[in-house]
Structure 1
Amino acid sequence: MRRRRTRLLVALLALVSAAGCAAGPSVRPALVENDGKPSGTTPARTPGVPLPPLGEPQSPSLKWGDCDDDTRERIGTPGVPDSLHFTCTRVTTPLDAPGEPRRSVVRLLALKVGSGPVPLVVVNDVDGEPGSVYAARLAATLPPAFLEKFSLIGLDRRGTGLSGAVQCVPADIRHDLIDADPAEGGLGDVLDAARKAGQQCAIELDDSQTALDSWRGAGDLDELRKQLGMARLDALGHGDGSKVLAEYAVRFPGQVGRMVLDGVPDPGADTAAVLDAVAAGAQSTLDAFAADCAARHCAMGDPKAALPALTSQLRHTLLSTAEGVAFGPGVAMFAVYSGLAQRSRWPELADAITAARAGNIEPLAGFVSPVLHDSRAQPSRIDATIATRCNDSQARLSADQLDQVVAGMRAKYPQFGAVVAQQLAWCGPWPVRTEPLPAPGAPGAPPILVATTAADPVTPQLGSTRAADQMPSAVTLGWQGAGHGALGVSPCVTDAARAFLVDGKIPADGTVCPA
């Protein structure tokens, strides 16, 4: 219990500190460690499971081919350095649909970047960039020591990117799923859109509809491990990509190598409570964004004044994007929420909000474009997000319950309460998971490094700390900064992750990195 109290205290102190952070990550390399040594945890730390040594592939079966041009086209702007080169392959894995296990297969895209001899698998958020693109971008931010020791293997999770992307939600329905007004009304329109999305997805996905979840995603990683020729899986997860790795550690504890979970989601079964904490994290991130803007003397001014003014303006004068998509207050706030998660794009986000107030919504619409627009090379991210998150959860709320939740969250979090609460409506019509939820914990796994971020609008620090508390071998590393994820953004966290992955150096549990 002492370890739990220490973590929660660190989380709370970090949240307070981050609210006044002005200019993002510090360049200071030093770690700030807790006083004293960490004591027991609940559940108790598994004894006698050391961090495994790094291995190299033995008889790999994957055939890699050049995909440099295609990858750069998918990455778009901003690009990555010409010094990085990419190869790709396909990983065959069982679909494993409930009721028809191992009757069919899916083929997943994997990308390799870096010349290191040890494969380090990279798994991203289901609603973020596909794992292949995320790995390519991450490679451009990591110290050379990473790519000298490791080859990053970015995997497009099942149903995302070029791994049989889910494309079942009609285009106009995608818009309605993210259009909850931040200030008024219930979630009836969002729930109606979710019903239409669920009906269409049931028709188009058929047996695969309930085979898109994190548990089977963990199985995909073990197939990848085998085809890479590795005895253990060395991996890095970002956001709910960390959830897939956490479930891998539950399913295959003996095959866990060196793993870093950057912003693992709260594993709580009460989805409404989990999302309440997400909305709180978004409000804290907005505070950090405001401080950053003030430090740069940006033209937007205080976002807590600019955002209500913008939504009021759009409520009375509805605008449309160049593609003819209605851009009302709900979509605008979803775009802002998406931008807050991307720390490197905060200056761009501030300028986009300023432009939108002047009548030019195109820059702000760019932040929500990955959800609204759909193509073979860049499928909409919301389809796979709904499928995976709804299959990962057994929670379903009635319309009355949804309206009560959104009213409460609006009152507490005026900017982002409705933006986050509407996600509860997405799963209303989706088939309820009949399989038991995976047990938390991963007993028998070696030390796993869990990085948290004080003001994170997607995986708030308190939720990541709760997730770590359920993992007997978790070692937490907290960054007092803001944005979604710390690796590649905080030099302190990046260096600690490098030392853990490359050198096998385990930081003291509860270590804190300054903002």
Structure 2
Amino acid sequence: MPRRRHAALILVGLTALASCSAGPSTRPVIAVHGDGGQTSQVVVPPGPREVPPLANYERDALPWSSCTGETRDRMGGTAPAGGQEYECARLTVRLDVPSRPGRGSLTTALLRVGTGGSPLVVVGDAEGEPGTLKAARLAATLPAELLSTYTLIGVDRRGTGRSDGVQCVPDSSREAIVEADPGEPGSEDLQDALTRASQECVIDLENRLPAVDSWRAAADLEQLREVLGVPHLNAIGVGEGSGVLTLYASRYPDRIGRMVFDGAPDPTLDAQGVAEARAVAAGEAFAAFGRDCAVRGCPLGGDAEERFTALLEELRDEPLRGADVDLTPGTATVAVLAGLADRSRWPALADALVAAEGGDGSALSAFVEPLLLDQDDSPPWLDAGIITSCNDTTTRIPPERVNSVAEDWRGKHPLFGAHFARKLLTCGPFPVPQEVDVPKPAGAPPVLVLTTAADPVTPAAGAERAAQSLPAGVVVGWQGSGHGALGQSACATAAAQAFLVDARVPNSGTVCPP
């Protein structure tokens, strides 16, 4: 059977609204697109609604089985508080590709942990740790009361982890994308690698390619809610996973439960604006990392930025060859960004930088291995991240403009500006999706949005604007660093617990100390 190219589908428009939590909706009746392209009307009361009550779910509705041993192996041996066990299951959802609306299927991987009667779904970033593992890690840090009220259910969103994960980018292209030197004035090699990636993904995935997006990931969550047999979806969105929950709120406004966004993508900036905001936030996170190093007396001492810059120059002259990954200026930059995002790994990141200075790049390269290599039956994270992001936007920026922006940002944001500018090339060779009219969220219960002051993935200012775009967004800001506040800030975690367990809504604008 000949392979055919298919255009990618869907723009995820997280449209900003003019009002915040107090303003009534001017559109109490909105259109909701069904799985088969049908449109139905949902009547939603205008203005903010009360926090929905909790409901128990049907614990035997899915074929759960123990996966405690393998999950602890995937986590590196970390066990959740209280010694809870892990169980895993698979859910069949509609593929819903443009050429066959409402038809086809794929399977979604799930993991549950906790003893509570109410489900709390965890959705993560597309180019990050799969939701099943994220839920398991959260269970190791969240308060016991929360885990006795809820059962966490981690979801490997479509295309990621063990949910029929996509793996279509050639190994050589994947390596070239990560190893590309942001200090180079041109981008021909990176463009070539991205073009090869697009060609292979269009051929290998065929009609599945345009179905890997956030719009359909939101529909998967609705199918999960139906299977669990609860009237509302309670959920935690981590970073870009909050964008999936925003789409869910737009599509299914009468089914919104208690939701916490731990970081959220900015719905107001274009792709270039988002990239620059991330470059600035990453610089702030690195500065915080350097201060932390100085306070702890870590091997980098008090001049982390100077030593990192010097390391990049050394790698530019002579990369460190590795068994699976070569440490180049590009690899080192991506590795540091991955380490900055995970606050708990800052000591390991400092040690890895010092080791690289001494000629051993293995520890620093380990930070990027999940992006490039199969791990624990999960495909490389890079593939799903690229495909999802390129199916979620119609923006395609010409290489000559990207090169100009990169040159400008090298001066304005010397540590990470050029890296984030060159990421704007990623979607250029991929099919442009059709634009879908995303309904604006109408009346809704409060949604708690946690922000982190120096978040290199979802910067705080953008997350605040995401909260403002919701009918009843409530912001609690942690003055810390890294990607996400849950489990890192005791103050932010306590606010989330009070909201999720007791329906206590904090004052918007509450600030948590670093």
- TM-score of the alignment, normalized to the shorter chain, above 0.5: yes
Q: Which residue of 1 aligns with 2:351?
A: 351
1:187-209 Cα deviation digits (max 9, x unpaired): 22212111000000001110010
Report how far residue 42 of structure 1 moved: 10
Cα distance in 2 for residues equivalent to 1:193 and 1:326: 16
Cα distance in 2 for residues equivalent to 1:344 and 1:437: 40
Q: Which residue of 2 aligns with 1:115?
A: 115
Kept in 2, the 8 Å contact 1:332–1:364? The answer is yes
> Structure 1 residues 382, 201: closer, same or farther in 2, change over 3 A?
same
Corresponding position: 1:215 with 2:215: yes
Q: Which residue of 1 aligns with 2:277?
A: 277
Cα distance in 2 for residues equivalent to 1:168 and 1:438: 29
Report how far residue 119 of structure 1 moved: 0.6
Cα distance in 2 for residues equivalent to 1:268 and 1:390: 18
Report how far residue 71 of structure 1 moved: 1.5
1:58-114 Cα deviation digits (max 9, x unpaired): 586212111112222222355656812111111111001112112210110111101
Corresponding position: 1:303 with 2:319: no
For normalisation by structure 1, the TM-score amounts to 0.89
Query: Which amino acid letter does the alignment assign opposite residue 358 of structure 2?
Result: A
Q: Which residue of 2 aligns with 1:267?
A: 267
1:322-356 Cα deviation digits (max 9, x unpaired): 23x32211111110111000000001100100110
Q: Which residue of 2 aligns with 1:26?
A: none
Report how far residue 510 of structure 1 moved: 1.2
Kept in 1, the 8 Å contact 2:48–2:472? The answer is no
> Structure 1 residues 92, 39: closer, same or farther in 2, change over 3 A?
closer
Q: Which residue of 1 aligns with 2:316?
A: 315
Q: Residues 397-412 of structure 1 correspond to what in structure 2 (within 5 A)?
A: 397-412=397-412
Percent identity, aligned pairs only? 46
Kept in 2, the 8 Å contact 1:57–1:229? The answer is yes
Cα distance in 1 for residues equivalent to 2:58 and 2:87: 19
Q: Which residue of 1 aligns with 2:509?
A: 510
Cα distance in 1 for residues equivalent to 2:166 and 2:508: 39
Secondary structure of 2:161's match?
A: coil
Cα distance in 2 for residues equivalent to 1:389 and 1:6: 27
Kept in 2, the 8 Å contact 1:46–1:473? The answer is no
Secondary structure of 1:110's match?
A: strand
Q: Which residue of 2 aligns with 1:256?
A: 256
Q: Which residue of 2 aligns with 1:181?
A: 181
Kept in 1, the 8 Å contact 2:25–2:443? The answer is no
Q: Which residue of 2 aligns with 1:234?
A: 234
Q: Which residue of 2 aligns with 1:132?
A: 132
Secondary structure of 1:63's match?
A: coil
> Structure 1 residues 40, 81: closer, same or farther in 2, change over 3 A?
closer
Kept in 1, the 8 Å contact 2:340–2:346? The answer is yes
Q: Which residue of 2 aligns with 1:13?
A: none
Corresponding position: 1:368 with 2:382: no
Q: Which residue of 2 aligns with 1:29?
A: none
1:466-485 Cα deviation digits (max 9, x unpaired): 11111121111111111000
- Of the structure 1 ranges 394-403 and 170-179, higher mean CA displacement relative to structure 2 is found in 170-179
Q: Which residue of 2 aligns with 1:103?
A: 103
- Of the structure 1 ranges 429-438 and 398-407, higher mean CA displacement relative to structure 2 is found in 429-438
Extract structure 1 runs of 4+ deviating beyond 6 A: 4-7, 41-45
Q: Residues 494-505 of structure 1 correspond to what in structure 2 (within 5 A)?
A: 494-505=493-504
Cα distance in 2 for residues equivalent to 1:221 and 1:103: 17
Q: Which residue of 1 aligns with 2:482?
A: 483
Query: Which amino acid letter does the alignment assign opposite residue 493 of structure 1?
Result: A
Q: Which residue of 2 aligns with 1:30?
A: none
Gaps of 5+ in 2: 1-16, 28-44
Cα distance in 2 for residues equivalent to 1:495 and 1:484: 18
Gaps of 5+ in 1: 8-37
- Of the structure 1 ranges 400-409 and 38-47, higher mean CA displacement relative to structure 2 is found in 38-47
Secondary structure of 1:452's match?
A: strand
1:454-499 Cα deviation digits (max 9, x unpaired): 1000000011111111112111111111100001100000000000
- Of the structure 1 ranges 246-255 and 296-305, higher mean CA displacement relative to structure 2 is found in 296-305
Kept in 1, the 8 Å contact 2:179–2:326? The answer is no
Query: Which amino acid letter does the alignment assign opposite residue 115 of structure 1?
Result: T
Query: Which amino acid letter does the alignment assign opposite residue 317 of structure 1?
Result: E
Secondary structure of 1:319's match?
A: coil
Cα distance in 2 for residues equivalent to 1:287 and 1:112: 37
Query: Which amino acid letter does the alignment assign opposite residue 424 of structure 2?
Result: L
Cα distance in 1 for residues equivalent to 2:80 and 2:471: 38
Secondary structure of 1:237's match?
A: strand
Q: Which residue of 2 aligns with 1:171?
A: 171
